Structure 1
Amino acid sequence: MSDLLFRPLEAGEFHLFHRYGPLPASGVGARVLPFEELGYRPGWVWVALRGDEVVARAGFWGPQGAGHPISLDWFDPGHGPDRIEVGAALLRVANAALFPPGDGAQAGERPEYHLFLPGDWHERPDALADATDRISAAEQAGWRRSVERLNLRWTPEDGLPPRSARLTFTPADDDEQVLGLLARITEGSLDAWDRRTRAEKGARETAKGTLTGLAGLAGGRARWRLARDASGDLVGIVMPTRNDRSATVGYVGVDPAHRGHGYADDLVTEALHIFVAEGEPQVNDNTDVGNTPMAASFARLGYRVTGRRLILI
């Protein structure tokens, strides 16, 4: 690979990113928005060049104001017989440059790799092959599989379920109360992020991460609701919000003492009523493939699977 040049693209050079060619016909890597509307920054988009030919490309992303990327969410390793090695080398070089020692970032830190996939990618040979190329190159560069998630969408045309008659909802504006509930919810959680973070940092820090992350989204926290049953017991929380593109049920959880009653349906339904009252045209959510109770709840409420996302860390 001595004939390859790996380098970032600066302002005015993004046309080189498109010289690679289109995304695979299988739909692997396809995004809802075009590249130009996804907010990629100069210096965070990298290409592998063989002469004038772009043979691999990678787009790292972070929100405005972030000093370092938080995700790798566009990656094409190429088409040649050495595509896995070329793709892995591009990721290693780019990641080392984006996370150097001595500037507040941990040297060698890897942002999550989000690989966007068709809903049926496991069953289609073309999609499976395209996904396997990207996964293999990323794994060779040091990433490892973490979790696969369902991407889901609900619109008012899918039918608005009736509001809960068994729960009462109030604003979730007391941080200590919210943190205590969120910490309890991590016990026995089927969410991969909750489980991993709880194992690494404990329940309280996991709860803080959830609260801080969601409060920092564009939608703020005015829509967050605590839920109580007829006896006044606090049974769960739903944290509807907005990200940069659409409404989303940022978090939904039921206290372990009150699981098994289908309260997730009530919680998500409350969020949908809030969004409909505000005129939101669609709600986009996701859940881990392994979180079958939550996936079933979304399905009962009319959500449709729009694709899948494999996360490597």
Structure 2
Amino acid sequence: MSGLIFRALADESEFPLFDTINAPLPTNGVGVRSRTFKDLAADGDYRPEWVWIAQRGDEVVARASFWGRPEFDHPMSLDYFDFDTVENGAALLKAAYAALVGPGYTHPMGYERPEYNLFLPPEWKGLPEAEARIAAAEKAGLEFHVERLNLRWEPEYGLPPRSTRLTFTEAADDALLLGLLEHILEGSLDAWDRKELLSRDVKDVAAEGLQQVADMPGGRDRWRLAYDADGELVGMVMPTHNGSSATIGYIGVDSRHRGHGYAYDLLAEAMHIFADEGQPFITDNTDVGNFPMAAIFDRIGYKVTGKRMIFT
């Protein structure tokens, strides 16, 4: 690590430096992004001050790119992260986080610093590239939060039939949505929900979750409430768009109505909404440990495209 300089890029003219890294880049789907850094940077997805490199002389031996929405003052996630050695990678992260995370740092998910999203193939355990990135993140002080399944559905996989036992209406009443969300959060298997509920009131968690989905580029016109044959409100689904693809912003069943498989009906309704729009595909994810939801995605026709580990 002797002689290394850790720094952010000075301006956009230095973006090409990011791809000159002298280190083995991951294979086997480890850390793979859908688009290259060069293309993302050209589209304005990265700010020079949020892109960090470790240099020995003119040689780049480690790199880390942080991302945040254009309207954000602080980065929210760490995307690309590559290095020649675990020690150099960890040292770069320590320097970058120290510079980017100050007393006024804010994150839309409530994290104390940008989360590291490590994209992985479905069967990643034992891959040296994966193990090295996990080791570097932990050595830099990041903590494992959750492992998630990355999922995708395309029309050619087959569209499930619409529910005949539930009735759907547009979800326009925020008070009704918030009350339902509070019941959905009871017994939630979602790692983020469970973490937040340990220290925060359920009303606050529900309000924040609703706002996060409302702020997504897809808007809220597709959101639906679901009622059973007795007219009881049993759940909701929030189909939206994340800027890259159609996606389910949130889906949940009232804790008092679980055990009937309603999540399948909710998901099917969202898929029909997207299909009617002509959306070419849907991408979603769920926690590996959320076995019921993972099983529903599988049964309804989604395919697992990979996994994602999140460190905070």
Equivalent in 28, 31, 56 of residue 62 of structure 2: 56
CA deviations over 1:178-229 (Å, ceiling 9, x no partner): 0111111111111001111111212111111211111001000110000000
State the match for 2:192 in structure 1: 193
State the match for 1:112 in structure 2: 115
> Aligned pair 1:173/2:175, yes or no?
no
Note the 1:203-218 alignment, pairs <5 A.
203-218=202-217
State the match for 1:3 in structure 2: 3
State the match for 1:24 in structure 2: 26
SS in 2 for 1:201: coil
Equivalent in 17, 40, 48 of residue 42 of structure 1: 48
Given the superposition, is the C-alpha separation of residues 92 and 203 from structure 1 closer, same or farther in structure 2, using an over 3 Å criterion? same
Size of the aligned set, in residue pairs, is 302
Measure, in 1, the Cα distance between the counterparts of 2:92 and 2:206.
36
Measure, in 2, the Cα distance between the counterparts of 1:310 and 1:246.
21
Measure, in 1, the Cα distance between the counterparts of 2:52 and 2:137.
15
Note the 1:57-206 alignment, pairs <5 A.
57-78=63-84, 83-101=85-103, 104-105=104-105, 109-122=112-125, 125=126, 128-206=127-205
- The amino acid across from 1:62 in the alignment is G
State the match for 2:299 in structure 1: 300
Unaligned runs of 5+ in 2: none
Per the normalisation by structure 1, the TM-score is 0.94
Instruction: Note if contact 1:242-1:248 (Cα within 8 Å) is conserved in structure 2.
Output: yes
- The amino acid across from 2:194 in the alignment is R
- The amino acid across from 1:59 in the alignment is S
Distance apart, 1:58 and its partner CA: 0.3
- The amino acid across from 2:73 in the alignment is G
Measure, in 1, the Cα distance between the counterparts of 2:180 and 2:39.
37
SS in 2 for 1:285: strand
Instruction: Note if contact 2:234-2:257 (Cα within 8 Å) is conserved in structure 1.
Output: yes
Measure, in 2, the Cα distance between the counterparts of 1:40 and 1:120.
30
Aligned-residue Cα RMSD (Å) equals 1.4
Instruction: Note if contact 1:149-1:308 (Cα within 8 Å) is conserved in structure 2.
Output: yes
State the match for 2:311 in structure 1: 312
Per the normalisation by structure 2, the TM-score is 0.94
Measure, in 2, the Cα distance between the counterparts of 1:180 and 1:42.
43
| Runs (4+) off by over 6 Å | none
> Aligned pair 1:12/2:40, yes or no?
no
CA deviations over 1:63-117 (Å, ceiling 9, x no partner): 1111000111211132xxxx2221111111111111234xx327x9421111000
Measure, in 1, the Cα distance between the counterparts of 2:156 and 2:25.
31
Unaligned runs of 5+ in 1: none
Measure, in 2, the Cα distance between the counterparts of 1:284 and 1:228.
26
